[in-house]
A and B are shown apart, each in its own frame.
Chain A
């Protein structure tokens, strides 16, 4: 579809330039940082694509788990406090599933090729 580039397309264009044009002309430390920069832009592109749905799913699960609704940061804080106080633990129904689903969504954005993803 013609129109204007999405944020994801802009980031992917910059990543492609860094990887295919800029990085091969660099050496040593600069070449290393160019590879890291390419990877950083790939994270941003995946976050633009997958982030909103992941946040929505996390918010819904948290509301169910905590039995009350709120914004995502407030609910994460509430869960953290309960886990620290021992009011919830790994045996709490739904907890392990929630935490695993949340972190899997994050790693899918931040490091989809990470070795442990095969164990999920």
Chain B
């Protein structure tokens, strides 16, 4: 039941639950993007007032868990609520769907104004002011996310540096296709695996593409489905991973900023002052390795016939960009 009319029908009840018996759901449309979740935009009209909302829903309403690490939409909504209570910028959750809504696993959040497309944020004139302050703001946002009290969170998986090294090395070995640069990187990282100063809530996918940016800078962190408990340095580094710089390699933070600014913003907002550039570096190198393995995993969906699209085939050939970045980082050229 991915039909527009079925979704529209389910949202009528949701609109009444959010805004009262007179409320109506209108202007429903599917948004592009979000391979692992369906994202729909709609308005709720009450009298002459109208407000924008986003429906985030498991594909076809069935929560299959698109990756082993995905926490599920109900848990995701709880994490977002706890993170907002701690002062994190995230879209407020307006409604978590129940069976009675007939929408399957889903929740509704406020539709915030802003841009998520990386190339626009990095290049377009309306974001020039935002780009100047974004690294610092991202640091501050992550400090708030990491300060979310553990006792306000739903149960989440623990996944630190060693757990992730083990998991991604196992996946890589399962492909039985040698990529010596990956072997070199796994060994390099294993020999230097950091012990986190403390473990915290980790967003897990904080990068350009998953953050909403307006003319004044960061609006919200989106896509919380990979949230877990682990090393906070992971979040400060994933946005620095070379593939997420969208070609602007000389600006390590997302192609727009400097690591010093990211860490300064983090510390100013109460983030752990023990986290330093060397720790960010380890996780950035690991990020490239992880993304390389993830590209091959996504290609696997093509090879097994689960997703026969040309896009899934092509992504298997993006692992080499991470190998190049790994070599440049391991030889001090990036």
Interface residues of chain A, those whose CB is within 8 Å of chain B, are: 28-29, 32-33, 36-37, 39-40, 43, 73, 76-77, 79-80, 83-84, 86, 89-90, 96, 99-100, 103-104, 106-107, 110-111, 114-120
Q: By the criterion CB–CB under 8 Å, are B313 and A99 in contact?
A: no
Instruction: Give, as a whole number of angstroms, the nearest-CB distance from A94 to chain B.
Output: 13
User: Which among B39-47, B256-264, B274-282, B322-330 touches the partner chain?
Assistant: B322-330
Minimum C-beta distance from A19 to chain B (A): 14
Stretch at the interface among B52-60, B71-79, B97-105, B245-253: B245-253
**Which B positions have Cβ atoms within 8 angstroms of A?**
32, 178-181, 183-184, 186-188, 242, 245-249, 309-311, 313-314, 317-318, 320-321, 323-325, 327-328, 330-331, 333-334
Instruction: Chain A residues near B180: list those with CB within 8 A.
Output: 76, 79-80, 83, 99
Task: Give the contacting residue for A110; candidates B187, B309, B317, B328; CB below 8 A.
Answer: B317
Do A83 and B183 have beta carbons less than 8 Å apart? yes
In whole angstroms, what is the CA distance A55 to B12 when docked?
60
Q: Which chain A positions have C-beta within 8 A of B248?
A: 115
Are A111 and B331 in contact, CB atoms less than 8 angstroms apart?
Answer: no
> Which of B310, B323, B324 lies in contact with A36, CB distance below 8 A?
B310
Task: Tell me which residues across on chain B come within 8 A of A89, comparing CB atoms.
Answer: 184, 187-188
Residues of B within 8 A of A103 (CB): 181, 320, 323-324, 327
Give Cα A37 to B314, complex, Å. 8
On chain A, the residues within 8 Å of B313 by CB distance are 40
What are 15 A-to-B residue pairs whose CB atoms are below 8 Å?
Answer: A36-B311, A39-B314, A40-B314, A76-B178, A79-B178, A83-B180, A83-B184, A90-B331, A103-B320, A107-B321, A110-B317, A110-B321, A115-B246, A115-B248, A116-B242
Q: How far is the CB of A64 from chain B (nearest CB, A)?
A: 15
Q: Which of B181, B184, B311, B330: most chain A CB closer than 10 A?
A: B184
Report the separation of the CA atoms of residues A78 and B271 in the bound assembly, to the nearest whole angstrom: 45
The distance from the CB of A5 to the nearest CB of chain B, in whole angstroms, is 23
Q: How far is the CB of B294 from chain A (nearest CB, A)?
A: 16
A40 touches B310 (CB 8 A): yes
Q: Chain A interface mostly helix, strand, loop or mixed?
A: helix
> If A90-B331, A119-B249 touch, does A83 touch B321 (CB 8 Å cutoff)?
no
Q: Which of B186, B246, B249, B331 is close to A100, meaning CB atoms less than 8 Å apart?
A: B331
**CB-contact partner of A77 in B178, B242, B249, under 8 A:** B178
| B320 engages A110 (CB within 8 Å) | yes
Q: Looking at the complex, which one of B181, B183, B309, B324 makes contact with A116 (CB distance below 8 Å)? A: B324
A83 in contact with B324 given A43-B317, A76-B178, A118-B249 (CB within 8 Å): no
Say yes or no: A116 contacts B331, CB within 8 Å. Answer: no
Assess the B187–A83 pair: CB atoms within 8 A: yes
Q: Please give me the residue from chain A that is nearest to B327 by CB atom.
A: A100
Q: Which residues of A contact B242 (CB under 8 A)?
A: 115-116
Identify the closest chain A residue to B183 (Cβ): A83
Task: Say whether, besides A33-B310, A36-B310, A84-B183, A110 and B318 are in contact (CB < 8 Å).
Answer: yes
Judging by beta carbons under 8 Å apart, are A96 and B321 in contact?
A: no
Find chain B residues with CB under 8 A from A119 CB: 249, 328, 333-334
CB atoms of B321 and A114 under 8 A apart: yes
Known: A103-B320, A106-B323. A116 touches B328 (CB 8 A): yes
Determine the chain A residues whose CB is within 8 A of the CB of B324 once the complex forms.
Answer: 103-104, 107, 114, 116-117, 120
Residues of A within 8 A of B178 (CB): 73, 76-77, 79-80
**Cα of A106 to Cα of B249 in the assembled complex, Å:** 19
Choose from B181, B321, B327 the contact partner of A111 (Cβ within 8 Å).
B321
Chain B residues within 8 Å of A107, by CB: 320-321, 324
Question: A2 → chain B, closest Cβ, in Å?
Answer: 33
Instruction: Indicate if the CB atoms of B325 and A116 lie closer than 8 Å.
Output: yes
Contact of B187 among A29, A76, A84, A99 (CB under 8 A): A84
Query: Which residues of the other chain, A, contact B310 by a CB distance below 8 angstroms?
Result: 33, 36-37, 40
In the complex, A104→B320 CA distance in Å?
9
A-B contacts besides A110-B320, A111-B321, A118-B249, 10 pairs, CB < 8 Å: A32-B311, A79-B183, A80-B183, A83-B180, A83-B183, A83-B184, A99-B180, A103-B327, A117-B324, A120-B328
